[in-house]
Structure 1
Amino acid sequence: MSETFYEAINWNAIEDAIDKSTWEKLTEQFWLDTRIPLSNDLDDWRTLSALEKQTVGRVFGGLTLLDTLQSENGVDAIRHDIRTPHEEAVLNNIQFMESVHAKSYSSIFSTLNTKTEIDEIFEWTNTNEYLQKKAKIINDIYLTGSPLERKVASVYLETFLFYSGFYTPLRYLGNNKLANVAEIIKLIIRDESVHGTYIGYKFQLGFNQLSEEEQGKMEDWMYNLLYELYENEEKYAELLYDELGWTEEVKVFLRYNANKALMNLGLNPLFPDTANDVNPIIMNGISTGTSNHDFFSQVGNGYLLGSVEAMKDDDYLIGMN
């Protein structure tokens, strides 16, 4: 018998049922930005003030940066510590969809902005001190952190740091503007909710194998990191939203999602903010159901392949027991 150098993945021999269920959920949710009629939002776009247009551009520039980081470095950092071959397959899917997310923002730019405006957006993104600081904090952990620390950084990025940007399109959606732009964001949120839950679950498997002393040290590190990221995120939100008067609402939304990130990781919430404290318009928008879109008649404002249920609060508790 020949020596085995490489083993074929066998989806009929599942070691962790969560791998299979996550794969199925992610593949059912598959979507592409090219199927969403962004040009239908141009009439709404023209009604926005110059400040609002600038804010939207910068928000999406920041989101592009974070999705680029996640697709290029984040998933690879986690891949070194897989428990099953099926987990690697799920991570491959996650990595591809992060690239789809990053490209989707460019589709929005090409629809709404001129080339000069796009160049200005990326110049702002690539030189903004708060954006660059949070990217550096997360990427440094990806490069030098332990396997568990890398998972924490990934969950914080996907379940917390994205949401200072997500707030803007959700707010416009709640006011019946930019519906197709918001549809892309809702699709991205739907993906990120699964990514954060899954990677948080994998973190919990490793965390539960630590000694009590090691767990205490890890929890201290996690809370300290969250404080550092939140302090920076407050400044980022103030820069983006002070002139529009939205900053305090955004901070509530950030704290709510920071708690969600901690729940994904099996820890207790840090902030007192709950869903009841978030603007109900935003909470309505964050529900990850999407509108059906007819490819041929261009009727509707969304794109949904298959029938997919949104993640619920209870889904964040996956693996905690």
Structure 2
Amino acid sequence: MAKTYYAAINWNEIEDLIDKSTWEKLTEQFWLDTRIPLSNDLDDWRGLSKEEQVMVSRVLGGLTLLDTIQSESGMHQLRDAVRTPHEEAVLNNIQFMESVHAKSYSSIFSTLNTKSEIDEIFEWVNTNEYLQKKSKLINEVYLHGTPLQKKVASVYLETFLFYSGFYTPLHYLGNNKLPNVAEIIKLIIRDESVHGTYIGYKFQLGFNELPEAEQEELKEWMYALLFELYENEEKYTAELYDHIGWTEDVNIFLRYNANKALMNMGQDPLFPDTADDVNPIIMNGISTGTSNHDFFSQVGNGYLLGTVEAMNDDDYLIGLDS
């Protein structure tokens, strides 16, 4: 009998049931941007001031960059330290959906913006000092960090750094504007919620195996990185939103989600902000299902894959006590 050179993945023997449940969750909520009628938002878009259009475009451009990092660098790095073959399969799924997210923003641009405007968006993204700084902070961890540090960076990106951008379409949705753009964002939020909780769970498994001294050292590093990212994010938020008066509301939302990122990894919240402090329009936008149109059914029942679900506090306590 020949020696095993490469073992086949066996989904009938599951080492960690969280791998299986996460795979099923991700595949159940699969979606594509091409199924969402973005052109229905054109009237709303034309009703925005030029200043608002530039702000929305830059917000979405920044989100494109973060999803690009996650799809091209982040998941590749996380696969180097998987605990099970099923975890690698889940990360493959996540990587693909991060690419779907990045492409979705371009679908919005191609619908709402001219060619010259799109060129300006990506020039701004690729040269903005705050976007580039947070990209470097995260990617340097991906390239040079320990496996657990890489998971921290990933959770911070998924559960914290995206939200300065997610705020904008949720705000417009709450004011009955750009509902299809917001639909894409809500689908992305649904995905990122699962990604962040899953990777945070895998972090907890490794963290709990460390000696106490190494745990404390890692926690000190985690909080230092969070402070550095938050300080930069405040400056990025001010640049985007000072001129329309949203900055403090966005910062509250950021701090709330920074706490969620820490909770994903089994750590104590850092900031005093809770869901009660966040603008209720934004929280309502996250918790409301995909009700503004029935786009799934437009392509037949075979594409009926469910609705957006809110992430509750208990969802951030994934697995360790199951």
**Which bin holds the TM-score, normalised by the shorter protein?**
over 0.9
Partner of 1:81: 81
- The equivalences for 1:222-301 within 5 A come to 222-287=222-287, 289-291=289-291, 293-294=294-295
One-letter amino acid of the structure 1 residue matched with residue 60 of structure 2: F
- The equivalences for 1:58-97 within 5 A come to 58-97=58-97
- The equivalences for 1:156-195 within 5 A come to 156-195=156-195
| Alpha-carbon distance, 1:311 to partner | 2.8
Contact 1:259 1:271 in 2 (8 A): yes
Q: TM-score, normalised by structure 1?
A: 0.96
Q: TM-score, normalised by structure 2?
A: 0.96
One-letter amino acid of the structure 2 residue matched with residue 205 of structure 1: L
- The equivalences for 1:3-42 within 5 A come to 3-42=3-42
| Alpha-carbon distance, 1:318 to partner | 1.4
The whole-number CA distance in structure 1 between the counterparts of 2:219 and 2:101 is: 31
RMSD (Å) for aligned C-alpha atoms: 1.4
The whole-number CA distance in structure 2 between the counterparts of 1:305 and 1:286 is: 18
Partner of 2:314: 314
Contact 1:29 1:304 in 2 (8 A): no
Question: CA distance change for structure 1 residues 263 and 295 in 2, over 3 Å: closer, same or farther?
Answer: closer
SS of the residue 1:238 aligns to: helix
| Alpha-carbon distance, 1:313 to partner | 1.3
Contact 2:190 2:309 in 1 (8 A): no
Question: CA distance change for structure 1 residues 255 and 281 in 2, over 3 Å: closer, same or farther?
Answer: same
| Alpha-carbon distance, 1:186 to partner | 0.1
| Alpha-carbon distance, 1:306 to partner | 3.3
The whole-number CA distance in structure 2 between the counterparts of 1:288 and 1:87 is: 30
Aligned length: 317
SS of the residue 1:80 aligns to: helix
Contact 1:196 1:261 in 2 (8 A): yes
Question: CA distance change for structure 1 residues 83 and 276 in 2, over 3 Å: closer, same or farther?
Answer: same
Following TM superposition, where does structure 1 have runs of at least 4 consecutive aligned residues deviating by more than 4 angstroms?
294-298
| Alpha-carbon distance, 1:320 to partner | 4.5
Question: CA distance change for structure 1 residues 294 and 54 in 2, over 3 Å: closer, same or farther?
Answer: closer
The CA deviation string for residues 108-164 of structure 1, in whole angstroms up to 9 with x for no partner, is 000000000000000000000000000000000000000000000000000000000
Partner of 1:144: 144
- Structure 1 stretch displaced more, 279-288 or 234-243: 279-288
| Alpha-carbon distance, 1:304 to partner | 5.7
| Alpha-carbon distance, 1:310 to partner | 3.7
The whole-number CA distance in structure 2 between the counterparts of 1:9 and 1:45 is: 48
The whole-number CA distance in structure 2 between the counterparts of 1:297 and 1:140 is: 43
Question: Where in structure 2 are there 5+ consecutive unaligned residues?
Answer: none
Question: CA distance change for structure 1 residues 42 and 10 in 2, over 3 Å: closer, same or farther?
Answer: same
- The equivalences for 1:119-158 within 5 A come to 119-158=119-158
The whole-number CA distance in structure 1 between the counterparts of 2:88 and 2:56 is: 35
One-letter amino acid of the structure 1 residue matched with residue 164 of structure 2: S
Identical pairs, percent: 79
- The equivalences for 1:44-59 within 5 A come to 44-59=44-59
